[in-house]
Chain A
Amino acid sequence: MSLALETRGLCKSFGALTVAANIDFKLEAGARHALIGPNGAGKTTFVNLLTGRLAPSSGSILLAGEDVTGLTQSGRVKRGLGRTFQINTLFGNMSVLDNVALGVAERLGCAGRLWKPASAFAAVREEALRLLAMLGIAEEADGTVQGLPYGKQRLVEIAIALGLRPRVLLLDEPAAGVPSLESGRILEALDSLPREIAILIIEHDMDLVFRFAKRITVLVQGEVLCEGTPDQIANDVRVRQVYLGEQHV
């Protein structure tokens, strides 16, 4: 199976502080992969390195075999890398529909059109509605994002990323801040995502992780501790130590 995303020896330091140390990471097409680790392990930093918000100190990043280490954020987006943010980064005063439509328009290449009214681009609008429907929030299309409950806003966050038809999707704590009543909806949404997309989620909610992921990578202080299937990780002594401290036998 071809690799949708790969990093080789990825490193990042801020002076004496190393936040990513020699990370070798492989994500296969169609993967359902989770990245876990204690707070401060460098998970969001890793995502920022992958998307291009941060430039690495050394190492390389490959998207579908192509080296994208030097590419800008928008360059990587165009090559199929999408992400959601840990904290909702939405267009608060704009409608839910527009939030998604902006991304769809970028992908379809018509976002820079100057003359025809936006409302005449039916393809964009319909695609946006389709994505909202897939996540179960189509009825909210006309309201502003600010008016939505937090859980539904998280779903808009995912819808925007999907609008880019990514081949790789990075979800940064999709359930973060979502009250437990609504988190079931997040899981449903994740399950309904297209099979072909390779998905990497960063999460603290272990319930979500173990129900969703087929493979898990554990990151500790910027280094990969171990990687494997959920069962392997659940039974790994080192992982227990990291999360729970030394165990008395």
Chain B
Amino acid sequence: MKHAVGYNADARLRWTEWLPWVAALAVFFLLPDYLSLGARVLTYILFALSLDLILGYVGIITLGHAAFFGLGAYVTGILSAKLGLTDPMMQMLVSALAAGLLGLATGAVILRTHGLTQLMLTLAIAALCLEIANKATPLTGGADGLSGVVIAPILGLFKFDLYGKTAYLWCLGVLFVSWWLVRRLIYSPFGASLAGIRENSIRMHAIGAPVYARQLLVYTLSATLAGVAGALLTQTSQFVGLNVLGFEPSGELLVMLILGGVGRLYGAFVGPLVFLVAQDYLAKQFPEYWYFGIGLLLVIVVLFARGGILGISDAVIARLRGMA
């Protein structure tokens, strides 16, 4: 159900949009052994959502989105392990701010370029962040990563327990708020103009729209959300290492998003869920075959199923409707 944005769109919540949240709560109650995997899925859904803003709605291909994710993760880790700041909300706030600032600074630059140069810059910025994290060992723990991350109880009341219950609900809450914000954005006039920019930016310029400023706003917002996701990762795993930065996690995220479907709000929900659950089952037993499989899947999706899982389900639903 590709939702239409714009001035005629119905912005009210459809009942189907409650399903993901109901399902998430069901998991909490029914599958207590899987809560840490669940928290990971929720974190990556937020990360994928942030990428979808740039990729699906602004139309910029980035190979370095992990830079914001990693920055958020490391900021929270450093705040906790090196500076003793353990309140999770404060950590999240600072991480979001840091990632947002980086997004603003890099976006201002990247949005003025296009083509290979733009692609190259996104990669260079991420590589730069990785190199800094690798070399600034006193701060970041270098190749060993940062452990000893302590998270205080949320609001002083809810301790992060060993079973991951608090962590799961914390992730769910953060994701819910973020999703709500993004959804409002998409249905707003601003969101309609984003669609216009993606469809035909020449036209948007000709109607006097401040295209660059709008793209920059979305880019910054996207970076902020990615930073929040990174902070979540550190908070729920109590560790941050180099694997949150660089091309590999950016590439994996692209796979997750493509799997679900780009440019649609719920593609970011479906992709990471399918990817991470499959990875949990398959990767432990056959890590190389798993990796090969993702690559193969990506190639097949690009060649034959460009809309991702939601695209396929759209097509199936359309067929069924046609037959009914």
| Any A–B CB pair closer than 8 Å | yes
Q: Of all chain A residues, which has the CB nearest B187?
A: A117
**Which of the segments A31-39, A87-95, A213-221 contacts the partner chain?**
A87-95
Q: List 19 A-B contacts (CB under 8 A).
A: A73-B208, A83-B206, A85-B206, A91-B196, A91-B203, A92-B200, A95-B4, A97-B8, A98-B196, A102-B192, A102-B193, A112-B190, A112-B193, A115-B188, A118-B7, A118-B9, A119-B6, A119-B7, A164-B207
- A62 and B184 alpha carbons, distance in the complex (Å): 41
In residues 242-258 of chain B, which contact A (Cβ within 8 Å)? none
Of A83, A112, A116, chain B has the most CB atoms within 10 Å of the CB of: A112
- A142 and B4 alpha carbons, distance in the complex (Å): 11
Contact: B206 with A105, CB < 8 Å? Answer: no
- A142 and B8 alpha carbons, distance in the complex (Å): 8
Q: Of all chain B residues, which has the CB nearest A122?
A: B7
In residues 77-123 of chain A, which contact B (Cβ within 8 Å)? 77-78, 83, 85, 89-95, 97-98, 101-103, 105-107, 110-121
B135 on interface, CB distance cutoff 8 Å: no
Chain B's nearest CB lies how many Å from the CB of A69? 18
Contact: A111 with B193, CB < 8 Å? Answer: yes
Chain B's nearest CB lies how many Å from the CB of A90? 7
| Chain B residues near A163 (CB-CB < 8 A) | 207
Contact: B7 with A97, CB < 8 Å? Answer: yes
Interface set of B (CB-CB < 8 Å, partner A): 4-11, 184-185, 187-193, 195-196, 199-200, 202-210, 214
Contact: B204 with A102, CB < 8 Å? Answer: yes
A124 on interface, CB distance cutoff 8 Å: yes
| Chain B residues near A125 (CB-CB < 8 A) | 7-8
Contact: B188 with A106, CB < 8 Å? Answer: no
Chain A's nearest CB lies how many Å from the CB of B80? 32
A13 on interface, CB distance cutoff 8 Å: no
A229 on interface, CB distance cutoff 8 Å: no
Q: Of all chain B residues, which has the CB nearest A91?
A: B199
Chain A's nearest CB lies how many Å from the CB of B119? 25
Contact: A111 with B189, CB < 8 Å? Answer: yes
Of B184, B192, B196, B200, chain A has the most CB atoms within 10 Å of the CB of: B192
| Chain A residues near B6 (CB-CB < 8 A) | 94-95, 97-98, 101, 118-119
| Chain B residues near A232 (CB-CB < 8 A) | none
Q: Say yes or no: A160-B7 contact (C-beta < 8 A), given A89-B202, A91-B195.
A: no
- A74 and B8 alpha carbons, distance in the complex (Å): 25
| Chain B residues near A91 (CB-CB < 8 A) | 195-196, 199-200, 203
In residues 49-94 of chain A, which contact B (Cβ within 8 Å)? 51, 73-74, 77-78, 83, 85, 89-94
| Chain A residues near B195 (CB-CB < 8 A) | 91, 94, 98
Contact: B200 with A90, CB < 8 Å? Answer: yes
- A125 and B214 alpha carbons, distance in the complex (Å): 22
A201 on interface, CB distance cutoff 8 Å: no
Of B187, B209, B214, chain A has the most CB atoms within 10 Å of the CB of: B209
- A93 and B185 alpha carbons, distance in the complex (Å): 20
Q: Of all chain A residues, which has the CB nearest B9?
A: A119
Contact: B188 with A116, CB < 8 Å? Answer: yes
- Of the residues A78, A119, A160, contact of B8 by C-beta under 8 Å: A119
- A116 and B184 alpha carbons, distance in the complex (Å): 7
| Chain A residues near B11 (CB-CB < 8 A) | 117-120
- A111 and B7 alpha carbons, distance in the complex (Å): 11
Contact: B188 with A118, CB < 8 Å? Answer: yes
Q: Of all chain B residues, which has the CB nearest A125?
A: B7
- Of the residues B9, B191, B209, contact of A106 by C-beta under 8 Å: B209
Given contact pairs A95-B4, A114-B188, A118-B191, a sample of 18 additional A-B residue pairs in the complex whose CB atoms are under 8 Å apart: A73-B206, A77-B207, A92-B199, A97-B8, A98-B8, A106-B207, A107-B208, A110-B189, A111-B189, A112-B210, A114-B184, A114-B185, A117-B11, A117-B188, A118-B188, A119-B8, A124-B7, A164-B208
| Chain A residues near B205 (CB-CB < 8 A) | 73-74
Q: Of all chain A residues, which has the CB nearest B209?
A: A106
| Chain B residues near A73 (CB-CB < 8 A) | 205-206, 208
| Chain B residues near A92 (CB-CB < 8 A) | 199-200
Contact: A103 with B207, CB < 8 Å? Answer: yes
Chain B's nearest CB lies how many Å from the CB of A132? 12
A169 on interface, CB distance cutoff 8 Å: no
| Chain B residues near A98 (CB-CB < 8 A) | 6-8, 192, 195-196
